[in-house]
Structure 1
Amino acid sequence: MPDPYAASRAAGERIEALYGRPVAELAADTAPGSMRHALLNSFDALQYADRAVTFHAEQLHRLTHPDRAIESVDLGHIADATRRLAHAVTVRDSHAQVLGDVLNSLVRVHDVTSQASAAPQALAVTPAPPPAAPTEPARSR
């Protein structure tokens, strides 16, 4: 059986590589509204989705165990467990896809202190031109 936590494990390793610190340490000092906060919230959702897949797979396995006699009443429960498992897999895969795409778009900045200590460069600011006056008078109906 494939690793049910492969998606969240890979995302966690990528976050740790990106920030250079363990996820638990990153979560301790995260400011709401930051990219790191959003990444960690997405990572938590992915971990929850991984656990849901495992839970529903175990539930379906328990309902369809070879040593268990399946009666007509169980068919609804089996169909429901199958539907829930399929939904959990879909949710997990979508979380993994979005989080993976975001993580792939980010790169680690290696030396932030030397960039921060460099003198900020002035930006040339030009004022916006004033709006043009209308050439024709406005008509009313």
Structure 2
Amino acid sequence: MPDPYATSRAAGERIEALYGRPLIELAAGAEPGGMLYALLDSLDALQYADRGVVFHTEQLHRLSAPERAIGSVEATHITDAARRLSRAVTTREAHAQVLGNVLQSLGRVSGDPSASVTCVAVPAASSPLPAHSR
């Protein structure tokens, strides 16, 4: 199974590359209303959505295990689990798309205000970025 957290991990690495510091340090200094705060909040939402996808996938696997007898009640639970998984994947992909688009539009800027501003393109992730955990 592919790494379900690959997209959110890539988004975190891109944020670290933009700001030149680890996420933990960035989070300590992020102020509401700023771009960094918005990026970290979006990353958090993406990670939360990632966990939802993993949870609902595991739930669906448990409910549909080969050794389980599946009657009408179990079929209803399996259908509900599949619906919840679908919703979780859709949510994750939406968060990933938005965060990916924002990160793609940003470039690293020198911390010295007197230095000339040079934007560096941040390569897009191979897949949309997943949502950040809460």
TM-score for both structures, normalised by structure 1 = 0.79
- Separation in 2, partners of 1:27, 1:8: 16
Q: Which residue of 1 aligns with 2:76?
A: 76
Identical counterparts, % of pairs: 69
Superposed, which structure 2 residues align to 1:98-137 within 5 Å?
98-109=98-109, 111-113=110-112, 115=114
Which residue matches 1:57?
Answer: 57
In structure 2, what is the Cα distance between the partners aligned to 1:87 and 1:24? 30
RMSD of equivalent CA atoms? 1.1
| Secondary structure in 2 matching 1:113 | coil
What CA distance in whole angstroms lies between the structure 2 residues aligned with 1:28 and 1:112? 18
SS at 1:2's partner residue?
Answer: coil
Consecutive unaligned residues in structure 2, runs of 5 or more? 116-134
Task: Look up the equivalent residue of 1:93 and give its one-letter code.
Answer: E
Between structure 1 and structure 2, the one with the greater Rg is: 1
Highest RCO, 1 vs 2 (Cα 8 Å, sep ≥ 6): 2
Q: CA deviation at 1:49?
A: 0.2
The 2-side partners of 1:85 and 1:12 are apart by 24
Q: Which runs of structure 1 show a deviation greater than 4 angstroms over 4 or more consecutive aligned residues?
A: none
Give the CA deviation at 1:114: 5.2
Give the length in aligned residue pairs: 115
In 1, Cα distance between equivalents of 2:113 and 2:52? 44
| Deviation, structure 1 residue 112 | 2.3
